[in-house]
Amino acid sequence: MSVQDPVQAMLERMGGTQLQRQYQTHAATIAPRKRLPNAESDIYSYSYCIVVGGLAAVADALLDRMFRAAMDEKHKLLSPNEQQLRENAVQDYLVTESLKPDTGPTMGMDYYEKLNEELRLSDGFKLRPANHRILNHTDREAVIKMLMNGDAGFGGTISGKFPKMTLEQATKLFDLHIAADQGSPQSIPLKFMSWLWEQGVKSANPDAAGASSPVYEFLQKLAPNGDWSGWINKFCEGNPIKSPATLGDAMLKLYELRIINERVFWTSNLGAAVGGFKRRLIITVLMELAVELYAVFEGVRLGHIKWLDDRESLATQILRWRDQPKYVDMKIMIQCMASSYGVLRLAAAQDPLSLNFTSIGMTIKHLVCYPAMINRHYVHLASFSRTDALSIDAAFVARTGVVLPSLNTEEFDKMKAFDKRIIDLGCFSTRVRVLGSRYEAQVEPLIARLEKLALYAQENDAAMALFDSLCESWYLADIEDDNKALAQFESDLDRIEKKIRLTVVKNN
């Protein structure tokens, strides 16, 4: 340090270079004050959230458009010539692989012509060319297994009807067949529609088709008298489903009338929302992770996270550091940015289903938990400051031998409790309260006696006047010596106690 330094100049005048060296040695041994573990918001954190969240919104928009385009291409309605080409591809593969069965009205892949009678399907809900794809078209693994075994019918109940084939042949044949059916005017039913129809058939004919699922039985009981036509017709024009209709019958009719099928669903806003749910969930998780990584990086940079510490200590440091307002604010901001595409699409195309509900839900969760986080953070800051101050005090005591005065909180609370007891008694003498704070052990028995006298005084005006003489604010104020004041208080209490007893006896 230069000689112009005021502290060094003063030390030089007082004790010369020796005192200066002692001061320098002492200054070098003093540990610097620790920074509070509190991260301040800055332009860098805001910019980080805007950039990362904005990129996520752009990715969401691009992937959403790609998904919609892919669904439009996959489920587009083919022209008659295009449809013929796909169906010919199925026939050509069967011929090439020597898998084509004998021709005839009962030799179609689904083998549905006789099933209406075997399954005892009710009128109006029988299998027809317009709806037969609800059977054996949606469960890929089950149908491929049936093809390998050469089976047909409801759930493969008819064996050996078609040539057996390898897994590769069955998979190729299934894919060609589905590709042709997807481009047809009827498209193919959704998987849950096919499952509900099959369970409905089993529920109506357990002997012929097997037992139905308990889930279906529960759903079937939800409708009045098991008739789903009334509920479903409320959402469809023209009441297309005649009564009575089970849930399975309703699915068959909805598919037959092309109200719901794969093309209708996957090319709709609802289909895009369902297809994009996993994508948006991943975006939400990545946004949370982006802020967590930022918090860890900043904690390491500021020295609040010691990267070389043991795992348990490192985990504790990270959990404490990340749990503070700045990073929750960042999470809220970045999730709002990530969900901005859905908000813009809602405004432009009136499509509420395009909203990123996972990001919105995470934002709401952060807002709900914000007050509790604030409380935890402030408690942690107070604890950190208290611990730091105690360590500095301990170092001072160890270095100088001077014991710093401290106030025992437990004793202070106890003192306040005794003072409150005196006031609640009705004793407003400041001198008595001072004696109680200084000599609680000696004053407590006197206050206990005074409390008993208060019970008698409440029932007798003369006794009350005697009692109040010990409770006036000026009582004992002119006696400065504590010992004399205590003696006078005890003497007065003895005298008043006798008078109150005599007063009570006379009145009785």
- Chain-centroid distance, C-alpha 481: 66
Q: How far is CA 312 from CA 295, 305, 319, 388, in A?
A: 18, 12, 11, 22
Task: Give me the phi and psi of 223, to 5 degrees please.
Answer: -80, 150
- What integer pLDDT is reported at residue 156 of this predicted model? 55
- What integer pLDDT is reported at residue 105 of this predicted model? 47
Q: How far apart are CA 178 and CA 89, in angstroms?
A: 12
Q: How far is CA 9 from CA 16, 22, 185, in A?
A: 9, 14, 98
At a CB cut-off of 8 Å and minimum separation 6, what does 411 contact? none
Q: Residue 340: helix, strand or coil by DSSP?
A: helix
Tokens found for residue 335: 């999730």
Instruction: Answer for the pair 121, 127: CB distance below 8 angstroms, yes or no.
Output: yes
Tokens found for residue 387: 């611990």
- What integer pLDDT is reported at residue 160 of this predicted model? 63
- Chain-centroid distance, C-alpha 354: 21
Instruction: Measure the N-to-C terminal CA separation of the chain; round to a whole number of Å.
Output: 89
- Enter the DSSP assignment of 309: S
Kindly report the pTM of this predicted structure. Answer: 0.70
- What integer pLDDT is reported at residue 495 of this predicted model? 86
- What integer pLDDT is reported at residue 110 of this predicted model? 47
Q: How far apart are CA 79 and CA 402, in angstroms?
A: 98
- What integer pLDDT is reported at residue 26 of this predicted model? 66
* pLDDT mean values, one per 10 residues, the chain (508 residues): 61 65 68 79 94 97 96 94 93 87 53 76 87 85 88 66 87 92 93 92 84 91 86 87 90 93 95 96 97 95 89 92 95 96 94 94 96 92 84 74 60 64 80 86 87 80 80 81 88 84 70
User: Which contacts of 288-296 are long-range, i.e. CB under 8 A and separated by 24 or more positions?
Assistant: 288/331, 288/335, 288/362, 290/48, 290/52, 290/334, 291/49, 291/327, 291/330, 291/331, 291/334, 292/322, 292/327, 294/45, 294/48, 294/327, 294/330, 295/39, 295/321, 295/322, 295/327, 296/321, 296/322
Within 10 angstroms of residue 415's Cβ, the number of other Cβ atoms is 15
- What integer pLDDT is reported at residue 443 of this predicted model? 87
